[in-house]
Homo-oligomer: A and B are copies of this chain.
């Protein structure tokens, strides 16, 4: 059964109904689906909503557009592959610390010749390299001495202004003064965690979650409390509620929009419940929205911070996944913890590099960013689709694959008992990098999971690499 991506949205409901017809065999591979006009009449929705529903189905890989002909049910191997279920965090014993594991996995990540399915980096081919570098060169000339001077916290006003201007799209209205710029999102998360916790504090996180967060919590001497998480709807709020009732939690850190590695999209009603549940106990929520702009659906999702009435949500994001990883420009809107975060920024890196901030502000202001986002969203959706299909074709039956609603990674559940660290080692011997599941859990769980990045354009080389991964998996399984 295909769960709803976002039950709050009408077009998603329509998409689910049509998906159900495909599931049930009412509509079969190769069938032409009703025209958009017909669908709008059948489901009593506007034509716009019907179009949105079809786009959503296309992004899910269920239908495909044929030029001047309409939409057809796709015949694809992915249709027979299930999604993983809600996670069950568990603690596994392992030989090395998570940072040793990380070091081992990523030492080769930049090595030329490696097929890059490991790190969640967008391919530079897909980034606006020329335009952005040209903007940086122009800003460098025009900024003069300003470009070389310290840009003291809260950071470059032009950038904070652009972030604030975009914020209503996410359901929240930030002012430039609400924002502190940072050296990437990772610094934003670091400063926010340091602002609201002290060593030894327990912090609730999604399970699985981004390994950088796993590392960060460990390095700050915090205690990670893993909350079961659903690959479609994100953190299990009933489970979180039980945890909050049972023990003290100092903070919660979550990626409601397109959790890495799950690609989950927390429905708005869940976002609201999450914020309220934490606010009742005065627990800060650190919200990582680094993937928020990379939605496959037609609408930019809201941020949980849009439901924040008490300044308890510390929103963090960056431009690293969308345009310029190497510029190291991120930001946070830390609510009532603004002053603390600003002071911590001062003592941890003093300031963010000036010119990269100004270049990105200009790129956003002149429309280059939105133009680029429109293109890259579709590209990532397609790449996720292609990689997922290839995995479904090459890997042994019984594996499960997530259906991310945004971002550019997929999370694969391999046969029980298969050791993804072993698979990683064998893949590296074949010059293929992947991210093994235990990196995504402080407890070292997810031993039979892997994450694949779909950040690179589909190519015969990637196709071949996935074929090899499939063979290795069959041999190990």
**Residues of A that sit less than 8 Å from B by CB:** 99, 102-103, 106, 109-110, 119, 121, 124-125, 127, 129, 132-133, 136-137, 140-141, 143-152, 182-184, 186-187, 190, 194, 198-199, 212, 215-216, 219, 221, 320, 323-329, 339, 342-344, 346-356
Contacts and interface: CB of A to CB of B under 8 A. Distances in A.
Contact of A198 (B182, B199, B348, B349): B199
Contacts of A215: 343, 346-347
Chain A interface, DSSP helix/strand/loop, else mixed: helix
Contact of A219 (B124, B143, B347): B347
Nearest to A347: B215
A149 B121 contact: yes
Contacts of A216: 347-348
A132 B146 CA distance: 12
A145 B352 CA distance: 21
29 contacts: A102-B346, A109-B152, A124-B145, A124-B146, A127-B148, A129-B147, A129-B148, A133-B143, A133-B144, A133-B148, A136-B147, A137-B140, A137-B141, A148-B324, A148-B327, A151-B326, A184-B349, A184-B351, A187-B348, A212-B347, A215-B347, A216-B348, A219-B343, A219-B348, A326-B355, A327-B355, A328-B349, A328-B353, A353-B353
Contacts of A350: 184, 186-187, 212, 320, 328
Contacts of A124: 145-146, 148-149
Number of chain copies forming the complex: 2
A326 B150 contact: yes
A190 B353 contact: no
Contacts of A106: 152, 346
Nearest to A144: B129
Contacts of A194: 219
B148 A140 contact: no
Contacts of A147: 129, 133, 136, 326
